[in-house]
Chains A and B, each alone.
Chain A
């Protein structure tokens, strides 16, 4: 899986490409840990190029979400492919993650919310 990070108005935008499973999930957690170490606690994951996710990938996302909450930060997701959305719906993880249709909508929501 390819992981690229960008930043916009204090929000770290993480672009994921490929399959989110055990190994890529571990890599993603490492990447997010690096962001936390840089005191970046506003994180947005753009999943538009994630073609597959399994329970290990979900576990990685849940773990990242818990860590973000502990740090009083905020995590959002966007651009879920239909199959990924289906898994989020069945597991009801769509109820605990902030999910936006597009990256733009997600980023604009950060403008009006105070963190920390």
Chain B
């Protein structure tokens, strides 16, 4: 033991060292002792000139806890240096319940600053043992101590304090606000009748806090008592009453469905949404399902840019539920929004698209955002409004490729024979996705003139155009394409030949499939395989006589494909054709 005392004595002397590292090491080592002298040394270190050492000592004391540390720290609450006082208070809070009794023992300290500190610390420790003593401090001769006592009781949240807080509200003028606030925090419904009385005060500041407290207690029956304050001439009071109602409503799952004069609070509610007030947002959006005035529509549109993604989606749903009139409102407020909001709004408009809305949309095709222009092009096509054809043709010249691509696709959904030449121009675009869209549009139009143009393109100088042409002819797929596709079986490009044969197999209605039989001798294995499939599709079992020769094909995959194709017919007699190839 004496060894420990010696060591502590040595460490205490080192605390006076001018060398930072020596003092720091001494504090660290003192933390490993539990003797009162070591604790006292750590408390002394709270006055060290270096902040790092002060905080280290504080951490060690908070970890040690214990009565000695607490009592010494309480004595520091009167320290002349505000920083040291605050540090001592902070450590006491961290020590927690073990510090309660030492704090209570000094709660009547003659220094009102110390009394206030003690009450503040007890409030933050939140230990019910301190309630009675703090209740007495509601009547402290110093108003700051009384106010702190009310606040501390609110922090502790014990219902035992409710009568004392009501008493303080009625008799301690300086602590009325804090007492009312504390009653709200405690949340005990037994305080409500008195709070309803207090809410009748002429003091608007007190009234404000009392209404807020009623809301925080959160009893549904308070709503009727709060409603009358919605008509208060002071907007702040009226809005506080509404906020209290909202808080109560949201505590009950937003289920309150009574009549409220919400039109008078539109600006307040939407300001709450804009400021990300969760409860106001939930309440307002929940009520909006039954509240579709033009003013509300415009306000919804105005907050769209301020809200989170989930709320934007909810607002979109509300706008959808509001019906076509919302779409018109949207377009009236469309231009000033961000790109995200514009895209969301266009999704809403999609639900109500008709010729009139499509006509209005045309006014926005010069939007600076390509994604917005793209979506407008899509909607114009979707609308089926043939009056948009010229607009879409203009959009096919957009500077951005994906806008042109969508404009061509949309044009296909609306276009007639008149646009065929224009759509063929799209096949010359520098971007492949635009060319593909123009191709798709021409497939949808699919008239005799389109077939003629694509037939001609089968022998275009550009091989890609040849391939697009045979793809398109295959997908147009009517009787007019059979002749050109049969002709393409002799095409110089093997991929064109293969695509032509595959398409003919799908079309099936071929009067004379002999060119396909000849294709079984094509130099390309891929073409021969396609011919096997096509002949089986067109002729069924009758094709076996034509394709059996390919069981001897030089290409293993042609042989394999032929065997599998014959096998898929499921005709047992064909087994003898295949058996010889078991040893292939």
Contacts and interface: CB of A to CB of B under 8 A. Distances in A.
B184 interface: no
B382 interface: yes
Nearest to A55: B446
B452 interface: no
B436 interface: yes
A55 B506 contact: no
B443 A90 contact: yes
28 contacts: A21-B478, A22-B478, A52-B477, A52-B507, A53-B477, A54-B446, A54-B475, A54-B477, A55-B444, A55-B446, A55-B476, A56-B446, A65-B384, A66-B384, A69-B354, A69-B384, A70-B354, A83-B506, A91-B409, A91-B412, A91-B443, A91-B444, A92-B412, A93-B413, A93-B440, A95-B409, A96-B378, A96-B413
Contacts of B383: 69
Contact of A91 (B382, B441, B477): B441
Nearest to A65: B384
Nearest to A69: B384
B446 A59 contact: yes
Interface in B496-544: 506-508
Interface string A53-81: 11110110010011001100000000000
Contact of B475 (A55, A69, A92): A55
Contacts of A53: 477
Contacts of B476: 54-55
A35 interface: no
Contacts of B437: 92
A90 B471 CA distance: 10
Interface in B331-380: 353-354, 378
A82 to B, nearest CB: 12
B325 to A, nearest CB: 14
A65 B384 CA distance: 9
Interface residues of B, number: 29
A1 interface: no
Q: Which of A65, A69, A90 has the most CB of B within 10 A?
A: A90
A5 interface: no
Nearest to A114: B321
A69 B350 CA distance: 11
B443 A87 contact: yes
A53 B507 CA distance: 9
Contacts of B412: 91-92
Main secondary structure of the interface of A (DSSP, over half): helix
B521 to A, nearest CB: 27
Contact of A55 (B381, B382, B409, B477): B477
B122 interface: no
A54 B506 CA distance: 10
B439 interface: yes
A90 B408 CA distance: 12
Contacts of B508: 52
A63 B270 CA distance: 43
Nearest to B481: A54
Contacts of A54: 446, 475-478, 507
B445 interface: yes
A83 B471 CA distance: 12
Contact of A56 (B353, B378, B441, B478): B478
Contacts of A56: 446, 478
Q: Which of B383, B406, B413 has the most CB of A within 10 A?
A: B413
A55 B478 contact: yes
Interface string B433-472: 0001101110111100000000000000000000000010
A80 B409 CA distance: 20
Nearest to A61: B444
B376 to A, nearest CB: 14
Given A55-B446, A90-B436, A96 B441 contact: no
Given A22-B478, A69-B353, A90-B475, 8 more contacts: A55-B445, A55-B446, A55-B478, A62-B444, A90-B440, A92-B406, A92-B412, A95-B378
Interface in B278-320: none
Contacts of A90: 436, 439-440, 443, 471, 475
A66 B358 CA distance: 14
A96 B478 contact: no
B549 to A, nearest CB: 28
Contacts of B354: 69-70
Contacts of B413: 62, 93, 96
Interface string B406-444: 100100110000000000000000000000110111011
A113 to B, nearest CB: 10
A70 B386 CA distance: 14
A56 B481 CA distance: 13
Contacts of B436: 90
Contact of A21 (B381, B384, B477): B477
A70 B356 CA distance: 12
A93 B507 CA distance: 21
Q: Which of B382, B444, B507 has the most CB of A within 10 A?
A: B444
Contact of B444 (A22, A52, A58, A83): A58
Contacts of A87: 443, 475
Interface string A15-59: 000000110000000000000000000000000000011111011
Contacts of A21: 477-478
Given A54-B475, A55-B445, A96-B413, A91 B440 contact: yes
B443 A58 contact: yes
Nearest to B444: A91
B126 to A, nearest CB: 46
Contact of A96 (B382, B439, B443): B382
